[in-house]
Amino acid sequence: MAASANVLGVFAHVDTTVQAIRDLRAQGFSDLTVYTPVPVEEIEHEIEKVRPLSAVRLFTLVGALTGTATGFFLTIWSSLKWELVTGGKAPVSIPPFVIIAFELTILLGGLASALAALILGRLPKLTPSPTYDPRFTLDRFGVAVACAPDKVDSVQSVLSAAGAEEVRR
Amino acid sequence: MSTLPAPLSTTSQATWADVNRDVIRTVSMPGDRYFAWMCLVALTLACGVAAWAWQIWVGIGAAGKRTPQMWAMYITTFVFWIGIGHAGTLISAVLYLFRARWRTAIYRGAEAMTVFAVMTAGLFPLIHAGRMWFAYWLMPYPNQRYLWPNFKSPLVWDVFAISTYLTISVVFFIVGLVPDVAALRDSSTGIKRKIYAVIALGWEGSDQQWRHYRRAYGLLAALATPLVLSVHSVVSFDFAMALVPGWHSTLFAPFFVDGAIFSGFAMVLVLMLPMRYLFDWYAYITDRHLDAMAKLTLVTSLVLSYFYICEVFTAWYSGEHFERASVFAKATKEYAWAYWGMYFCNCLVPLVLLSRKARVNTVILYVVSILVLIGMWLERFNIIVPGLGHDFYPYTWGTYYPTVTDSTIIVGSFAWFFILFLGFIRVMPSLSIVEVKEVLPHPLKHAASHGGHH
Amino acid sequence: MSVMDRRSFFKIVATTGAAAAAGGCGPSAEQFIPYVIPPDNIVPGIPAYFSTVCRECPSGCGLIAKNRDGRVIKLEGNPDHPTNTGGLCIRAHAALQGLYHPDRFRGPLAGGKPVTWDEAEKQLTDKLGALAKARQGARIAVVSGLETGSLGRLMDEWTRLLGARPRIAYEPLGYEAIRAANRVSFGRDAIPDYAIGDATYLVSFGADFLETWLNCEGYTADFARMHAFYQGKQGTFVHVEPRLSLTAANADQWLRNAPGTEGLLALAMLRVIVDEGLQVGGAADLNTLRAAARAGDVEGAASASGVPAETIKKVARDLAKSRGGLVIGGGMASTGSTVTDTLVAVNLLNAAIGAVGTRVRFGSALPLGKASPYSDVAALTQAMAGGQIDVLVLVDVNPVYALPPKAGFVDALAKVPLVVALAGRPSETTARAHVVLPLLHSLESWGDYVSEEGVLGLMQPTMGPVQVEGKAVVALSTGDVFLRSGRKALGLEEGKGPLKWPTFADYLKDEWQRVARDYGSSAPFGEFWEGALRRGGVWRQPASPAVVLRPEAGRVQAGAAKLQGDGTHALLVYPSSRFYDGRGADRPWLQEVPDSVTQVAWDSWAEIPTETATKMGLKRGDLVKLTSPHGSIELPAYPTDLVHPGVVAVAMGQGHKFPGVFANEGNAATGTSSQAGYLNVGANPMELLPGAVDPASGGLPHLAVKVTIAATGGRRPLAVPQAQFNQDEREIAQWVELGSARETELRGRPPEHANRPSMYPPVKYPEYRWGMSVDVDRCTGCQACVLACQSENNVPTVGKAQVAYGRIQHWLRVERWQEGAATQPVNMFLPMFCQHCEVAPCEPVCPVYAAYHTKEGLNGQVYNRCVGTRYCGNNCPYHVRKFNWFNYTWTAPLDLQLNPDVTVRQLGVMEKCTMCVQRTVAAKDMAREAGRTVKDGDMQTACQQTCPTQAITFGNLKDGGALVSKLSLSSRGYHVLEDLGTTPGVTYLKKVVRSEPAGGHDKPAEGHKA
């Protein structure tokens, strides 16, 4: 929908914030952005109702498997290059290679997860969003609603009704 | 999630705003005392660097190594620092998965410690190598002659384990920092604000960011947990895979991991207690935190004692002459002081923590932690130096004597660690703003409507 | 038994002739060799081999010098030479460091200042000429070493022409007593050859024939022939000495007697033999023997010497009954006031058991019999002191050091107006000479040497004069100096007259015309000469004249040696197997190779009985002051159970006092300079001895004084690489009792322990698997292999401090392990080096594949890949891997000796024994050219080649016919630390002992000691 206007409600409390989200949803306002200083179970719970689960784990899985494969390939292939015998062991002896594979699994898995958080989280974010307020890293919650200009008033009323300290557009 | 234990808020009255204030306070222009300390540390570090330069110039002979102790204090200290590096990730990953919420107050400091400890440990393979300028040959890099490292060598496993561990710890550390740096950004002005803005990656705490962030954090923790256990196991393989009596043992992996956690917690206490005092964080690092850490220290100490007994028992029960002779020599010959010192510091001293009074008494805790650190260094020393000094071949048995060079380098490594840590606590929040807030009572309008949070 | 290395043989054949033509002077060390027109007999990169004679001691062993691009880089024994049959001792190997010694004179000196040759020579010849003209020749004296060949004759001719005093052939170890005793007993003023190899029962009264006694290198080989376990049999060797010398350590029974009581024991044994009628031989002898035996008294000897009467009787009976007995005596350490009687008694015993003429052969007499007795030296000293000498020419001798100060030589020397020293390197003597004329090293000169009657070794220059600082040293061979100076002094000219020969080489060739006739050579001289050059000389077995015991021998007197002074301990001054009389002490190699028995490297020390040490509270390295009526010296103490409680023992050869490269202190952090300062440490025990001549023998008594011991409170820790001699039940050196050795040999090898189940795939060796076997029963601990390895493989010396701190760099070490009673141990010498394990613990731990297993079963070490983690060094249970702690260097021109085929290892890398892989490669090339694979005899490793007893065998284990394969399956075979499952490529053969040492049979490694 053409979101032409943004309304922001600043809240001091968790329960009022949750209330606001519930009410807005009830009114059919679904394009919400919720700012919180810390992740809050209730709010997440509220949001997860309509959102699919985060896709980060797929990244992790792919990364980890790549790691395992690389580990075994590198060790086995490179041992076959010269086939040097050390201590009577066969050039390709799997048990020691498992360690390398394991470490690479963790390494690539971890890096992939971190990468996912950036990509999916749209980070780094170069320009701050218009509705952001520094207090959100302190102790205030924010609910930003993108709506058609004609809906602004009703949104504001919903927000203040829910107990917003401050409502602005 | 109502199964979670109650947050520690009960003991403290701090509000979210207080947290920001108290933490951001620490990231400010430091005083003269701080600089005085920094100078001292920097000077020590300079000596260490000079000593290393000298050693590179004349050769490893400048260090007191010899036949049979071709390894000595460098590897000892290497293992020591790796061990220190275990507490951080353990706290931030394992305790995170176990939802031990008291971790929030200490984990940032612990993670910083981990990263810097591993960075310190990472120096030692270089310092130790006879031709450190070729140390990069241990890395698998493509080259025309297809010369690759020997993946059967425990040293190559080390290279992989430690570089992985360092990378993951750093990632973990930075990921944790981002929201806090955002808070710093919003509270600061001018150039500082610009710098923090860059580091914060434009974090805003929107639901979109949080949900991926939380998921990633959880997965990182899940990956880091086996890593923590694997790294010191791999380091222990440096010894367990060798033939030397007293080294060639299946006991080593768990033995080393436990020792690592043990020493790691000691180090956390050594660092946290002064910070708590200097930054006036009594509200966040409460007696209950101390109690919890002390308990963990105690448990790991008891487990370690069990391993010590196992070590001696297996040596005796195996009937293996070399093993017995080795243990006997450790306990009675020229290095006996180190052996018994280790038992005293690692097995006896921590027992005082059986009393709750001791667990919450900062002085006692501090002394115990210092002794534990000494004891753990001695433990590694005992494995390496006397172990090699009395191995299979009586012809070459001998005593290792430290030289000025290697001693200075060892001291320098501590300076290196502290210069990093001291620097960190002045530019970054060494207490996790977000996670501490998380466990504080969430602001509610209608407290009645919730029978306490969760 | 000793296989001549084929390769070297061909090379000799190929080159020596040409070498002779070209005067043997290859291009000198630092010349560039043009590839376009290579000079005669030098093909760049291809070594040339020259045979010559070793002149480090009077034995005169045959040498083969390996000349590579104009420099001699390695010495090996000449397998054809009867004296040493291929073996070499440590001193011979170190001759190279004498050749390349940084201290070598660059040119002549007069009054300590460098001058031209002619100036220096003029000072001598003017004086000589004047005296000769004035018929004052008697005021000229020449002192040289023992020169039994043409050079000796030339010098004698020189003295005759000038009317000078008869030349003194001065040997500090002169063995005058042996000759004296032979004069008395057989009327022969000679030293016979003792056929130790043919004996089945050998009794030695203080004769250290494995170290310095007479023809020691040859005797070591003979000893192996007589004593090594072979086909179930083994000769018996009983050694009588107050101290556990290397020789005593190899004895089946070491009788630790009170010093100076050898005579009593010998006569007591004679008494037993005669009383029990066990003697052989005719009636004539019998009376003499009876007469002599009356002086013998078993009980008295027992109480005086501390050797139980029962033992004396048993040894005497066994000796007599063996019917292959041989008795020897007269080691320097036992030359007391009664030594002549002792040796007469020894002769009597030999007569009694029928050894004279069979195993005591006057036919092949030894050159030492021709050395001037010490009494002549004393007489000369008197003359000098009396101002009767105007010119004294000292040819390559160092009496100032070697004689006791009490002999007064130094003061007498000051009274001689002109002292001319001919020498290659500075010494105490050259420091006091007015004129120094530099000599070429024996490896740079022509010559010949009679090493025993009928054996005439031929010396040729093996390289041109060494270049020091880019310039060849200005020097001549002794012969040339005498020819030139003689002619100048007497106004003769070249080409005619008594000294007509232009060079000594020409003189030598003329002399050899006569030799050719002597040896009845029908071939034209040219062929004879070249043959001799190739072979290294000419030899024949002279007939042994019958000798009869003279009645005078019957009047032998029994008595213990009289010792001067009221000290508490008798002083035992023994010649060191490392430095002989002290002439080798300026060579780092000899300083760093540990003394086999005490395992002390560098410095010198006083062996003090444990009782005394504990009473005085002395620990190893505490400084003690030994005081005799004639002087006192300070030394670090070495408390030991292995000397008689009434004895203090000090080795000869250390404590030199003259400046030199190695005499100055240096920075300990870098390789060679840490060797600096060793030259003048230690002390010279001669300073404690009287200079008086022993009237009976005319020799210098070495067992002459008692000393008092006083702790000075100071300390000078000794460098002892071996931490302890007790192997702590680890079965490193193993032994087996003779009886069971015989049995197992009959039954064949007991089940192989090495075949234990393995989780690893079997290792494949396509063509070769190189392996070694080391016979602990044959190894006498002479250390020759250590130096052979050091010179072949460019192993650096690291200095006392580093050796003391476990950083000795030797790839090969000879360990001494003792079992049984502390005072009467069974000694085992174990050469230990890289075991080239199949399941090598060192290999898999290397992160960069610097250590790996080659397809030929060698444990490879890639120096330039090594990063220096030293993990392999920890993980090698034998600790045979050596790390380059510093950047070790060689003081020029010692670096000219380095073997171009072997890398000089860099700072920070690990190194170790390669089983001379450079030789293996060369052998494979040669075999490939011949279109076959390498066989036994194609090559030998350096250690194997030099071993006088053939204790070491190298070869291809895949070749069933190879000797090494057979030996590896011997019933005595074992692997060191076998239970670790490293499956070494080196098999050791157990030492065979006569009886279980006290302290029990060697237990399995899983002992009950914790």
Q: Read out DSSP for A108-143?
A: HHHHHHHHHHHHHTT-S-SS--TT--GGGGTT-EEE
Q: How many CB pairs under 8 A join A and C?
A: 37
What chains are in contact with B, requiring at least 3 Cβ pairs below 8 Å?
Answer: A, C
| Closest CA–CA distance from residue B414 to any residue of chain C (Å) | 23
Contacts of A102 in chain B (CB under 8 A): 230
| Closest CA–CA distance from residue C1005 to any residue of chain B (Å) | 6
Contacts of C722 in chain B (CB under 8 A): 395
Model's pTM, two decimal places? 0.92
Residue with tokens 């993108």: A146
Q: Does A95 touch chain C (CB under 8 A)?
A: no
Q: Does A61 touch chain C (CB under 8 A)?
A: no
**Is B138 within 8 Å of C805 when comparing Cβ atoms?**
no
Cis status, amide bond into C766, omega within 30 of 0: no
**What per-residue string of b and e applies to C413-429 under the rule 16 or more CB within 10 Å gives b?**
beebebbbbbbbbbbbb
Percent of chain C with pLDDT over 90: 79
Interaxial angle between packed helices C298-305 and C309-322, expressed in degrees from 0 to 180 and rounded to the nearest 10? 120
pLDDT of residue C18: 41
Contacts of C763 in chain A (CB under 8 A): 85, 88
Cα dihedral: C339, C343, C346, C348 (round 10): -120
CB B265 within 8 A of CB B300: yes
Locate the chain A residue with the closest alpha carbon to B444.
A13
Handedness of CA C205, C211, C213, C216 (dihedral sign): positive
Option in B134, B244, B328 nearest C867 (CB):
B134
Write the CB contacts of B20 (distance below 8 Å, at least 6 apart in sequence). A137, A138, A139, B183, B187, B433
Q: Does A86 touch chain C (CB under 8 A)?
A: yes
Instruction: Mutate one of A73, A138, A145, A165 to test the B interface: name it (highest B CB count within 10 A).
Output: A138
pLDDT of residue B314: 93
pLDDT category at A100 given cuts 50, 70, 90 is very high
DSSP C427: -
CB C780 within 8 A of CB C250: yes
Task: Please determine, for residue B88, whether its predicted confidence score (pLDDT) is greater than 90.
Answer: no
Please choose, from the candidates C351, C201, C181, the residue with its C-alpha nearest in 3D space to the C-alpha of residue C262. C181
Handedness of CA A13, A14, A16, A21 (dihedral sign): positive
Residues recorded for chain C: 1010
Classify the phi-psi angles of C677: left when phi > 0, otherwise alpha if psi is within -120 to 50, otherwise beta: left
Option in B242, B328, B397 nearest C874 (CB):
B242
**Is C840 within 8 Å of A88 when comparing Cβ atoms?**
yes
Instruction: Report how far apart the first and last C-alpha atoms of chain C are (Å, whole number).
Output: 46
Task: Please determine, for residue B26, whether its predicted confidence score (pLDDT) is greater than 60.
Answer: yes
Contacts of C835 in chain B (CB under 8 A): none
Low-confidence ranges of chain C (pLDDT < 50): 1-34, 665-674, 999-1010
**Is B223 within 8 Å of A106 when comparing Cβ atoms?**
yes
**Is C840 within 8 Å of A86 when comparing Cβ atoms?**
yes
| Closest CA–CA distance from residue B136 to any residue of chain C (Å) | 9
Please choose, from the candidates C919, C921, C914, C810, the residue with its C-alpha nearest in 3D space to the C-alpha of residue C860. C914
Please choose, from the candidates B281, B66, B353, the residue with its C-alpha nearest in 3D space to the C-alpha of residue C719. B66
For B179, phi then psi, to 5°, come to -60, -35
Please choose, from the candidates B215, B205, B160, the residue with its C-alpha nearest in 3D space to the C-alpha of residue B183. B205
| Closest CA–CA distance from residue A167 to any residue of chain B (Å) | 18
- Would you call C711 helix, strand, or coil by DSSP? strand
Tokens matching residue B401: 């004597």
Instruction: Mutate one of A13, A53, A137 to test the B interface: name it (highest B CB count within 10 A).
Output: A137
**Is B130 within 8 Å of C722 when comparing Cβ atoms?**
no
Tokens matching residue C675: 């060797």
Tell me the C-alpha distance between C175 and C342, whole Å.
Answer: 13
Q: Does A80 touch chain C (CB under 8 A)?
A: no
Please choose, from the candidates C659, C814, C885, C860, the residue with its C-alpha nearest in 3D space to the C-alpha of residue C250. C814
**Is A81 within 8 Å of B146 when comparing Cβ atoms?**
yes
pLDDT category at B31 given cuts 50, 70, 90 is confident
**What per-residue string of b and e applies to C980-1006 under the rule 16 or more CB within 10 Å gives b?**
bbbbbbbbbbbbbbeebbeeeebeebe
Option in A74, A129, A136 nearest B140 (CB):
A74
Name the pairing type of β-strands C826-832 and C113-114.
unpaired
Q: Does A86 touch chain B (CB under 8 A)?
A: yes
Counting Cβ atoms within 10 Å, is residue C321 exposed (0-12), middle (13-18) or buried (19+)? Answer: middle
Locate the chain B residue with the closest alpha carbon to A63.
B223
**ipTM for this model:** 0.92
Cβ neighbour number for residue B136 with a 10 Å cutoff: 10
pLDDT of residue C381: 97
Tell me the C-alpha distance between C418 and C121, whole Å.
Answer: 12
Instruction: Mutate one of A57, A85, A106, A165 to test the B interface: name it (highest B CB count within 10 A).
Output: A106
Instruction: Mutate one of B393, B399, B400, B406 to test the C interface: name it (highest C CB count within 10 A).
Output: B393
Tell me the C-alpha distance between B275 and C404, whole Å.
Answer: 77
Counting Cβ atoms within 10 Å, is residue C964 exposed (0-12), middle (13-18) or buried (19+)? Answer: buried
Contacts of B59 in chain C (CB under 8 A): 884-887, 907-908
Element (H, E) at C74: strand C71-77
Tell me the C-alpha distance between C966 and B278, whole Å.
Answer: 79
pLDDT of residue C755: 60
pLDDT of residue C1005: 36
Q: Does A61 touch chain B (CB under 8 A)?
A: no
Lowest mean pLDDT among A128-137, B300-309, C999-1008: C999-1008
pLDDT of residue B161: 96
Beta bridge partners of C391: C140, C418
Tell me the C-alpha distance between C628 and C648, whole Å.
Answer: 12
Tell me the C-alpha distance between A154 and C724, whole Å.
Answer: 96
Tokens matching residue B330: 């450790």
**Is A82 within 8 Å of C849 when comparing Cβ atoms?**
yes
Three-class HEC string of C4-72 = CCHHHHHHHHHHHHHHHHCCCCCCCCCCCCCCCCCCCCCECCECEEEEEECCCCCCCCEEEEEEECCEE
**Is C870 within 8 Å of B243 when comparing Cβ atoms?**
no
Task: Please determine, for residue B92, whether its predicted confidence score (pLDDT) is greater than 90.
Answer: no
CB C251 within 8 A of CB C237: yes
Beta bridge partners of C636: C623
CB C94 within 8 A of CB C589: yes
Write the CB contacts of C136 (distance below 8 Å, at least 6 apart in sequence). C130, C390
Tokens matching residue C699: 């020799």
CB C77 within 8 A of CB C62: yes
Beta bridge partners of A168: A8
**Is C882 within 8 Å of B67 when comparing Cβ atoms?**
yes
